[in-house]
Structure 1
Amino acid sequence: MMEETRTKLIQAGRKAFAAKGYAASSMDDLTREAGLTRGALYHNFGDKKGLLQAVIDQIDAEMLARMRVASSQAETPWLGFITEGVAYIEMALEPEIQRIMLLDGPAVLGDPSQWPNQTACLRTTTQTIQQLIDDGTVKPVDAEAAAMLINGAALNAALWVAAAKDSEVTLPKAVAAFRVIASGLLAHPQGAA
């Protein structure tokens, strides 16, 4: 019952935040849409901000799954690594991700690099970079530092695309720059790209 209540609230929140934005989504509208009371929202998420975090966590998990699928189709581990970053940046064009994850999320919850879900993402990126170092694809560098910088580049590129007046024009610029920056990690730039 409790999980069903959480699911209903997350679905209602996701729908409202995507359609109206966080600020214009009232708690009364959210709970009415879910067929629940304000008390259910407070009990499960504390407040509307807590519901936004839960919606972001759900969308983030979906984005991660999509990035992994894209990566798994690449010809080499390096290309898979780059494909994940590019896929993340490209998702900034999707209205729901753009509004909830990249515009409202940072405005309400603060710096996305400090969100709880970033810890797992950084750990995975660090492990991937370490593997690429171990197999000689990437220069010997501190894997954690490289992960912080690469994740930051992808995040900031996505934020730029989402906030741009013409996201379609900004996207290829962001992707090209991301690829150039990431290629600086390569031990043998000519052979691995």
Structure 2
Amino acid sequence: MSHPARVTKNVLRTARKTTKTSRRQDYSSSTKRALLDSATTLFTDHGYAGTSLDEVVAAARVTKGALYHHFPSKLALFENVFLRVQEETTTEIGRAINTSKDPWERAQTGLEKFLEVCRQPEFRRICMQEGPVALGHERWQEAEKASSYGIVQGIVEELLADLGSGADQLGEAFTAVFYGAIRSASEYVSDAEDPDAASDDVQATIGALLTGLRLMPPFDEPAA
């Protein structure tokens, strides 16, 4: 049987090790967060090519070694920034959509929130303007689709379900068309000299398409 004093020492030793590990993890997490925050600001203000790693570590107040501990290269840092902005955008849109239960209102609300995000400097510069250049068009499309395609697909499925059972077979085609329209809309708004006016035009255009779709007779009704 273990001596009580020895057991107590072992428990204290384990607790100290756990505390040290926890502190290291907290420090590592805060360092990574500081790097991502600083890089996000710099990439937004100066673009990928116009931002140096020296500027990032200076803004984050960490060493170059700390940066390379988390990100092996400038491209890896940018990709993590890009993915974080995409994830935050997806969360924002999802939260907005969930304020309504009606599928048509959800679609309209999601569109409005997405166009609002497209006008934000951070999203415009990092995700729409710098993303394709820094990551390459193929990787950019892949990351963008992984982030937003599921939302579009979910909305389309809800709309088609509301139109009638016969519409279900067109789900894949409708999703591809609407996803393409949303992607083109985001590029149109992000590249516009007047993003607010461009956003209004896009909202009116896609809104008209949704209205036309809603006014169609149910897909499961026999043709006249």
TM-score range, shorter chain: 0.7 to 0.9
Where does 1:40-51 land on structure 2 (aligned, <5 Å)? Answer: 40-51=66-77
Deviation at 1:120, TM superposition (A): 4.8
Instruction: Call closer, same or farther: CA 1:178–1:107 in 2, change over 3 Å.
Output: farther
Instruction: Call closer, same or farther: CA 1:57–1:133 in 2, change over 3 Å.
Output: same
Q: Give me the CA root mean square deviation.
A: 2.6
* C-alpha distance in 1 between matches for 2:125 and 2:53: 18
State the partner residue of 1:160: 188
Check conservation: 1:137, 1:188, Cα contact below 8 A. no
- Aligned pairs, number: 189
What is the TM-score when the length of structure 2 is the normalising length? Answer: 0.72
Residues 1:105 and 2:131 are matched in the alignment? yes
State the partner residue of 2:154: 127
* C-alpha distance in 2 between matches for 1:80 and 1:151: 16
Residues 1:10 and 2:59 are matched in the alignment? no
Letter in 2 for 1:3: S
Letter in 2 for 1:42: Y
* C-alpha distance in 1 between matches for 2:60 and 2:90: 27
* C-alpha distance in 1 between matches for 2:162 and 2:199: 31
What is the TM-score when the length of structure 1 is the normalising length? Answer: 0.82
Deviation at 1:137, TM superposition (A): 6.0
Counterpart pick for 1:136 among 145, 160, 163: 163
State the partner residue of 1:25: 51
| Structure with greater Cα Rg | 2
Q: What are structure 2's unaligned runs of at least 5 residues?
A: 1-26, 219-224
Judge which range, 30-39 or 136-145, deviates more: 136-145
* Identical amino acids, percent of aligned pairs: 24
